[in-house]
């Protein structure tokens, strides 16, 4: 990859010099590049100053909270001592007044932490947008993949195994606002994946078992394949491959093109345990990771090298952090992580629900909750795995008789 970027950079500067040879001197080109470099440096200093101001605000808020906590404790202790002199029990006063006040202050402090974390994410987005605005247009060509990632700030929320038609929802992870897709109303949804190249959704349905394709903003669907029941899909768009975990016609990991062509089972899992569910890809090493309820396992793109990596229960969700080389998966409500270089698992935290699907965005795990029985609501939760913060619910979503929620990032 380093050689490729160096060659691209050399070609760019070569073409720039050639073009400028007709109109401007080499000295003029160098001066413009120096001016651009100074502008980027000034913007970086400004962003660092903003970060310092935000950190100072957070520190001031923490200090004020601690001071308020100390003052409230002192006031209630004095009141308690007065009551003791009157014959009342100090322990009863502490239980009924001081402890209650402490809980309220702790709740407020946790809410402040959540708001600070959200503000930090907004600041990070502001930094990214400022850098993108300062970059020349050719940077979008060189770093198109990163630009695409920067746009993925919304979550498509689909009802899992609903027996009645339900509308898909859209959750903005920064504003925590929820909207409804007027054109996406379905039942029996078991899996969803977004294909960026065609800007369409692939949706797995059961009863009848089939795969359908649908745009985000239109009311029509097209059947891609029939007789397929899938619970998880992952896409490698550079290679034009969609990998699926299937229960029907049999337990497999299968593959096809992003348009549904050349469907084939690469690994038969009929004798491997329960039906496979969640799936994620290591696109660099061409490896697949999946869960089947009781195992988290891996297999190569060609179907070879099947191996069990971890065991547990209600293991449905798995996601791979490509840059860090780390797998995140669930064992019931426990979020686990495994470094693929060592295959050693460690516990991260306890989630609010069993996750059915997980997505990773800028160091934060987002997950759609699952229930073994039909319920009338589901939730989307998140946890910052960079700092192992406490998980919290982003949004509770009410739908009639669903088993949970399937989530998928969309631009």
DSSP 71-106: HHHHHHHHHHHHHHHTT--HHHHIIIIIHHHHHHHH
Residue 148 pLDDT? 40
Provide the β-strand partners of residue 370: 354, 404
Predicted pLDDT at 407: 94
Same domain? 94 vs 39: yes
The CB-side HSE value for 146 (13 A sphere, CA atoms) comes to 10
pLDDT, one tens digit per residue, over 204-251 is 999 899 999 999 887 789 999 999 999 999 999 999 999 999 999 999
- 324 occurs within a structural domain: yes
Sort residue 342 into left (φ over 0), alpha (ψ -120 to 50) or beta.
Answer: alpha
- Smallest CA-to-CA distance from 335 within 346, 325, 344 is with 346
Domain count across the chain? 2
The reply to whether 22 falls in a domain is yes
178 and 96 within one domain: no
Q: Do 252 and 118 share a structural domain? A: no
* pLDDT computed for residue 134 by the predictor: 43
Cα gap 179→170, rounded to integer Å: 5
Same domain for 186 and 135:
no
Q: Among 145, 174, 205, which residue terminates a domain?
A: 145
So what's the pLDDT on residue 38? 77
Where is the domain boundary, 145, 169, 191?
145
Residue where a domain stops, chosen among 123, 145, 167: 145
Cα–Cα–Cα angle for 185, 213, 255, rounded to 5 degrees = 130
pLDDT of the residue at 76:
67
Strands 364-384, 326-331: pairing kind: unpaired
Q: Which regions in the chain score pLDDT beneath 70?
A: 1-26, 29, 76-102, 106-107, 109-111, 113-152
Q: Are 95 and 102 in contact (CB under 8 A)?
A: no
- pLDDT for the residue 119: 64
Domain enclosing residue 371, as ranges? 152-410
CATH assignment of the domain containing 365? 2.120.10.30
Q: What is the pLDDT of residue 302?
A: 97
**Looking at residue 95, what is its pLDDT?**
59
In a domain, 2, yes or no: no
**Is residue 199 domain-shared with residue 342, that is, in the same domain?**
yes
Average pLDDT, the chain: 81
pLDDT of residue 208: 92
Q: Decide if 36 is inside a domain.
A: yes
CA distance 305 to 282: 14
Angle ∠(303,304,310) on CA atoms, nearest 5: 95
Residue 4 has a pLDDT of 47
Question: 10 Å Cβ neighbour count for 239?
Answer: 13
Backbone phi, psi, residue 122, to 5°: -65, -40
């Amino acid at each position: 990859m380093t050689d490729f970027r160096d060659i691209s950079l050399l070609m760019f500067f070569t073409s720039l010099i050639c073009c400028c040879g007709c109109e401007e001197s080499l000295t003029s080109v160098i001066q413009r590049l120096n001016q651009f470099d100074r502008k980027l440096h000034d913007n970086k200093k400004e962003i660092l100053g903003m970060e310092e101001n935000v950190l100072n605000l957070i520190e001031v808020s923490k200090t004020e909270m601690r001071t308020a906590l100390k003052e409230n404790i002192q006031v209630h202790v004095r009141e308690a001592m007065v009551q003791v002199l009157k014959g009342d029990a100090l322990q009863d006063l502490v239980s009924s007044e001081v402890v209650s006040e402490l809980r309220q202050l702790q709740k407020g402090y946790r809410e402040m932490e959540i708001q600070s974390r959200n503000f930090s994410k907004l600041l990070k987005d502001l930094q990214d947008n400022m850098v993108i605005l300062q970059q020349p247009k050719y940077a979008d060509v060189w770093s198109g993949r990163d630009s695409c990632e920067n746009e993925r700030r919304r979550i498509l929320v689909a009802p899992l195994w609903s027996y009645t038609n339900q509308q898909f929802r859209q959750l903005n992870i920064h504003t925590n606002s929820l909207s409804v897709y007027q054109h996406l109303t379905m039942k029996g949804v078991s899996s969803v994946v977004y294909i960026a190249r065609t800007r369409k959704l692939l949706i797995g349905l059961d009863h009848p078992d089939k795969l359908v394709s649908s745009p985000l903003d239109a009311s029509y669907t097209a059947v891609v394949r029939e007789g397929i029941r899938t619970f998880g899909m992952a896409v490698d768009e550079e290679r034009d491959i969609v990998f699926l975990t299937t229960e029907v016609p049999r337990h497999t990991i299968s593959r096809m093109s992003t348009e549904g062509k050349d469907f084939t089972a690469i690994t038969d899992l009929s004798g491997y345990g329960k039906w496979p569910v969640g799936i994620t890809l290591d696109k660099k090493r061409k490896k697949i990771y999946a869960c089947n309820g009781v195992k988290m396992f891996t297999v190569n793109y060609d179907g070879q090298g099947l191996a069990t990596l971890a065991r547990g229960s209600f293991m449905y969700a798995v996601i791979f952090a490509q840059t860090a080389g780390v797998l995140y998966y669930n064992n019931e409500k426990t979020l686990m992580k495994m470094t693929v270089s060592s295959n050693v698992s460690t516990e991260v935290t306890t989630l609010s629900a069993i996750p059915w699907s997980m997505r990773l965005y800028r160091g934060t795990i987002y997950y759609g909750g699952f229930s073994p029985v039909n319920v009338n609501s589901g939730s989307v939760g998140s946890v910052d795995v960079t700092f192992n913060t406490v998980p919290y619910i982003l949004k509770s979503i009410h739908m009639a008789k669903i088993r949970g929620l399937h989530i998928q990032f969309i631009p």
